[in-house]
Amino acid sequence: MDTVAQIIHALVSMLSVLLMLMLLYQLYISFYGFRKKTKDYQDHDPGLRFLVLVPAHNEEAVIADIIYNLKHMEYPPALYDFYILADNCTDNTAAVARQAGANVIESFRESEDAPTGKPIVLQKALRALEGYHNQYDVVMFFDADNLIDPNMFLEINSQFLSNPGKADIIQCYLGSKNKNGLIALFYYMTYTITNRFFQLAKNHLGLNNVVGGTGFAVTAEYLHQRGGWASISLTEDFELQIEATCDGKRILWNHNVRIYDEKPTHFRASLRQRIRWAQGHWFVAFKNTRRLFRALKAGNISFGEFLSTFLYMYSLVPYVILVVQMFLRLTINIFEWTGLVAKVPVVGLFNSWFLDNLPAFSLFFYSFIVLYYVSDSMDNGNRFNLRIFIPMCVSMLLNTVLAGVAQVVGLFKYKKQNTWVKTEHKINRLEASNLLRHDESAPQIVSPEPNERIA
């Protein structure tokens, strides 16, 4: 039994080293996010034609806002069309959208057990819009609860035209509509950090960026080559990203225009969303690992791109490592308490586990506290505020536990990809002005006044 205990101790130490190596890589990436320059392309006159798709399931409370937003973009109306994709709605989403002046494509299940969700409605919409690749240059995707910078199409147009034949997908800055409360604050913190110190940093390094589920543009030609919307998982955005990378395609980042997304405000809603994300993430990772190695062998991607993509595919592993370590530590303590092995003079289960991972926790603190304040200042103009430091720490700790639970549950449920759990949306406008970009050139969000909204 002493041999078993030694093996467990060695395994715990190995897992700590693995966790440390993964965090060190993220530390290296983050250094490239400190650069102030965010725009690496030239301005161009409007020229590209946009097809905009907005999936919506029971979104009558918020759908009018994005429609109003899309009708008031700083881009020639003749060069873009947008469609609301009313997916199995049981409310008035389709009617509200039509009253607001939107094109609407309604979709319904063929049977009770037929799959549903965002991937399915996108598949159906692109089939219905036959020939879209001849009529449009770019297909852009938003969620129904989003608000959008009015100059987004103009900036995406310029970025594509500045990289002819070199860009296949562009992901825009993922902003937040709300950040009040311990749950929403954590989302705001993580997106604020990753936008600059992961996404922008990777763009500076010439690595492919992460596709974030909304606010991304795909060339119509590449989408058509893929057979339309071919991604089927619960994280269809991540699936698109991995498959595009394996195909040798380029995914760029735009830090200069934002979409504003409503974040969950309750633990239960956040847990459901995170489990869904984890289910999809694990599924896509397991499904595409061999494909990624084949892409490297075939020369479709560089080793740097391979390493970056592989580590992101398995970026949920640290949460699992921490849970496994706790379990192994508990096993050792049970052996000691029952006299199966001699007691080792340690300071206890938690302290021993904590000391093993102290370097990793230090990097974690740097990533969540230091980088948050820097990115919030550089991108949002928000100064250091000591009054919110304690709420920040509480939010970080509670949500890290929540996220850890979600990753483990998602791992056990990863094969289930047909059940889509909706996140409810109800926020019509930005919660506060400090969620906007802080530079003088930043456009103001176009959103209807209350009396302009469609009831």
Of 123-132, 305-314, 437-446, which gets the smallest average pLDDT? 437-446
CA gap 217, 372 in Å, rounded: 27
Q: Give the domain 34-313 fold.
A: Spore Coat Polysaccharide Biosynthesis Protein SpsA; Chain A (3.90.550)
d(Cα 359, Cα 269) in Å, to the nearest integer?
32
Where do the domains of the chain lie? 34-313
What is residue 8's predicted lDDT score, i.e. its pLDDT? Answer: 63
Are 249 and 165 within 8 A, CB to CB? Answer: no
**H-run or E-run covering 339:** none
Q: Which residues are registered as beta bridge partners of 175? A: 260
Distance linking the first and last C-alpha atoms of the chain: 70
The pLDDT of residue 346 is above 60: no
Reported confidence tier of residue 452, pLDDT bands at 50, 70, 90: very low
pLDDT digits (tens, 9 = 90+) for 139-180: 999 999 999 999 999 999 999 999 998 899 999 999 999 998
Greatest alpha-carbon pair distance for the chain in Å reads: 79
Q: Which residues contact 178 (CB under 8 A, 6 or more apart)?
A: 184, 188, 262, 263, 265, 427, 430, 431, 435
d(CA 455, CA 439): 35
- Range of lowest pLDDT (190-204, 236-250, 367-381): 367-381
Residue 340 is classified by DSSP as S
Predicted model pTM: 0.88
* pLDDT band at residue 438 under the 50/70/90 scheme: low
Residue keyed to tokens 């919110």: 388
User: Which is more confidently placed, 369 or 67?
Assistant: 67
Residue 222: closest CA among 245, 204, 206, 194: 245
| Highest mean pLDDT (candidates 38-42, 318-322, 390-394) | 38-42
State what percent of residues in the chain have pLDDT above 70: 85
**What phi, psi does 251 have (nearest 5°)?**
-115, 115
Tokens of 163: 């990289």
Element (H, E) at 81: strand 80-87
Rounded mean pLDDT of 408-415?
91
pLDDT score of 323: 77
Sign, CA dihedral 394-397-399-402, equals negative
Q: How far apart are CA 86 and CA 144, in angstroms?
A: 10
- Taking residues 295-312, report their average pLDDT: 96
* Two structure tokens written together for 115: 């799959």
User: Dihedral through CA 127, CA 47, CA 44, CA 149, nearest 10?
Assistant: -50
The percent helix, strand, coil of the chain (3-state, each to 5) is 55, 10, 35
Strand ranges (E), 100-246: 103-107, 138-141, 147-148, 169-176, 216-219
Token pair, residue 366, equals 């740097």
